[in-house]
Structure 1
Amino acid sequence: MKAFPLKKGTTLVLLAILALVLCAIYLTYNTYGNFQFAWMLRGKKVAAFLLVALATGMATVSFQTMTQNQFLTPNILGLDSLYVLIQTVLFFVVGGVKMLSQEQTPLFLVSILLMALLSLLLANVLLKRQQNDLFILLMLGMIFGTLFSSTSSFLQVMMDPNEYDLLQGRLFASFSNINTNHLAIAAGIILIGSLLLYRLSSYLDVLHLGADQAANLGVSVNRFQILILFLVSLLTGTATALVGPITFLGFIVANIAYQMMPTYRHRYLFPTAVLLGINFLVGSQFLVEQVFQLKTTVSVVTQFVGGVYFIWKIIHERRRQG
């Protein structure tokens, strides 16, 4: 195994040290003399941070390589909207109190399966024909996302206000009430999916050159895209089912990773994006708990930072091209 170049290796080491420092501060700050209880409570959250950062970083970088667009994230396929629809239907049919009180491991697995199968179905129908159908796939993802959102809104309007209030707790990313069984299942799925994507790094490096060049170099582009799309959907769906939708997180960490690692090699981009995700999530949760006194959530912080960064990047790209 070749060693990292000094500059890239130094960057990764510094990001890893920062992640360890932030995790240590988060686990030990303001424990009020009850460190064991704080460790148990916060340790579960840190585990979720690691898994969500791993899934989001790997999935977003892979998806942007496949689409050749650094502004797109896997959420464009409508996965967040599908998650909201699944939760809304379950709360509408079963009831909020029963949903929050009973064991939901089967429902957790069903949510992941539906989100992965949706993308796989679209990919099998469209990408098998010709390369240009990738853009139709993205358009259909946006259409399905709108359909899911409209259906969710319709059901939410018909809900009892108390049921709707309970539902809202599920529709925002939360690291506070994570089921330990779900965490173990998600860890297995995310670790396997991420390992597969990392092993495909060399193929993603070739795909970065463009679909035509990848095909000329011997890559079966359509089959490879279907595989990547399934793994991306599996990782994104698992992270979403575990903690809820986190809009803009993938966009933030992937694009900052490109700036810190000006290379096409995914074996550098992947760990950079993952470490950035860990730093961002741990730092955001620390601010939410210790500075804002739980008056906001990580998803709100992510949407604010991501929205500002998205606007800045658009303006920056237009100036650079102009």
Structure 2
Amino acid sequence: MRPKTILIIFVAIALAFIGAYLFVGLTPTLWDYALPRRATSILAIITVGAAIAFSTFVFQTITHNRILTPSIIGLDSLYILIQTILIFAFGTAGLALVSTYVQFGMTLVLMVLFSLLLYVLLFRREQKNLYFLLLVGIVCGTLFSSLSTFMQVLIDPNEFLTVQSRMFASFNNVQVDLLWIALVILAATTVYIYPQLKYLDVIALGRDQAINLGVPYDQAIRKFLIVIAIFVSVSTALVGPVLFLGLLVTNVARELLKTSRHAYSIALSMLISVVALVAGTFMLERVLSYAAPLSVVINFVGGTYFIYLLLKGAK
């Protein structure tokens, strides 16, 4: 099946689920109240799903590894650490007095600064430093997780419930103002990285081949890493961490298309991500009555698929 046909099919599936999520169960009395809230949730789902899929696919291309995701450099663990520190320092009552914009901005700035610090200190012109960067990211992620666990043991159990609620992604309580801020940041970042996207097909061939074909390899890799950090930071600060979503949708897109054209593969992975999030949210809300957070289901399915990829690679 041609790539454009597959893309059209998934666009239709995405629109069908979006329509079902927006309008199923609506009555004239609930229209004014429910529809804007559902529209906000859908916009957040599309924003986060597209950002995670794009950043994961590009990250896998520049690292030449299908089982790696940007969370390997510790951004998700850093997000949980920041939320834990806020509750540990101010408490639930004190944190309620802090503006939501301040919390969102502080979380976003700290995550992006951490990523940029890693890149500035560790990323040089030699190819091996990319893998050294990943190794340091794993160590930092483990450190952040350990510090978070230590502080979570010390805080009041009631305040721990607040921390726990922020450890899982939620698309139902996204504030419209924060969503617009995230959209502006992502749009500006997309404009910044768009001229470099044409190099992805060649970068996938390897460093030496890309340089021989005239690609400014080191400059392009740095820009891609910065954009990945911004995309992951914005999506995580907006709704919370979704660990295995990117791994799942990018590999499904690769299996469906079997092409080296990143324009098609990235677009399909973004569509699959939106379909997975919208369909999952719809099923959990309408069928399972919020029996479990969507991020838990995604992490279970994605973790299982991750094990399958490891076993497949071993064979």
Alpha-carbon distance between aligned partners in 1 of 2:227 and 2:95, rounded to the nearest angstrom: 28
Query: TM-score with structure 2 length normalisation?
Result: 0.95
Asked if 1:128 is matched to 2:124, the reply is: yes
Residue 41 of structure 1: which of 34, 37, 43 is its match? 37
Whether contact under 8 Å (1:111, 1:241) holds in the other structure is yes
Query: TM-score with structure 1 length normalisation?
Result: 0.93
Match of 2:154 in 1: 158
- SS of the equivalent of 1:240 reads helix
How big is each residue's C-alpha offset from its partner over 1:272-296, in whole Å with a ceiling of 9 and x where there is no partner?
Answer: 1110010000011011111211121
Alpha-carbon distance between aligned partners in 2 of 1:195 and 1:301, rounded to the nearest angstrom: 33
Asked if 1:278 is matched to 2:295, the reply is: no
Residue 193 (structure 1) shift: 2.4
Residue 84 of structure 1: which of 74, 80, 100 is its match? 80
Residue 15 of structure 1: which of 10, 18, 34 is its match? 10
Whether contact under 8 Å (2:193, 2:223) holds in the other structure is no
Residue 298 of structure 1: which of 294, 298, 312 is its match? 294
Whether contact under 8 Å (2:196, 2:220) holds in the other structure is no
Alpha-carbon distance between aligned partners in 2 of 1:191 and 1:30, rounded to the nearest angstrom: 33
Match of 1:3 in 2: none
Alpha-carbon distance between aligned partners in 2 of 1:221 and 1:238, rounded to the nearest angstrom: 26
Alpha-carbon distance between aligned partners in 1 of 2:68 and 2:267, rounded to the nearest angstrom: 20
Alpha-carbon distance between aligned partners in 2 of 1:243 and 1:100, rounded to the nearest angstrom: 18
Alpha-carbon distance between aligned partners in 2 of 1:259 and 1:199, rounded to the nearest angstrom: 27
How big is each residue's C-alpha offset from its partner over 1:192-212, in whole Å with a ceiling of 9 and x where there is no partner?
Answer: 323444442211111111011
| Percentage identity across paired residues of the two chains | 39
Match of 1:105 in 2: 101
**In the superposition, relative to structure 1, how do residues 245 and 74 fare at CA in structure 2: closer, same or farther (>3 Å)?**
same
**In the superposition, relative to structure 1, how do residues 110 and 287 fare at CA in structure 2: closer, same or farther (>3 Å)?**
same
Q: Number of matched residues?
A: 314
Match of 1:173 in 2: 169
Extract unaligned runs of 5+ from structure 1: 1-5
Q: Which amino acid aligns with 2:74?
A: G
How big is each residue's C-alpha offset from its partner over 1:217-246, in whole Å with a ceiling of 9 and x where there is no partner?
Answer: 222322221111110010001000000000
Match of 1:203 in 2: 199
Residue 141 of structure 1: which of 133, 137, 143 is its match? 137
Extract unaligned runs of 5+ from structure 2: none
**In the superposition, relative to structure 1, how do residues 100 and 14 fare at CA in structure 2: closer, same or farther (>3 Å)?**
farther
Whether contact under 8 Å (1:95, 1:163) holds in the other structure is yes
Alpha-carbon distance between aligned partners in 2 of 1:223 and 1:197, rounded to the nearest angstrom: 11
Whether contact under 8 Å (1:58, 1:197) holds in the other structure is no
> Please, what is the CA RMSD of the aligned residues?
1.5
Alpha-carbon distance between aligned partners in 2 of 1:100 and 1:295, rounded to the nearest angstrom: 27
Alpha-carbon distance between aligned partners in 1 of 2:125 and 2:312, rounded to the nearest angstrom: 36
Whether contact under 8 Å (1:96, 1:163) holds in the other structure is yes
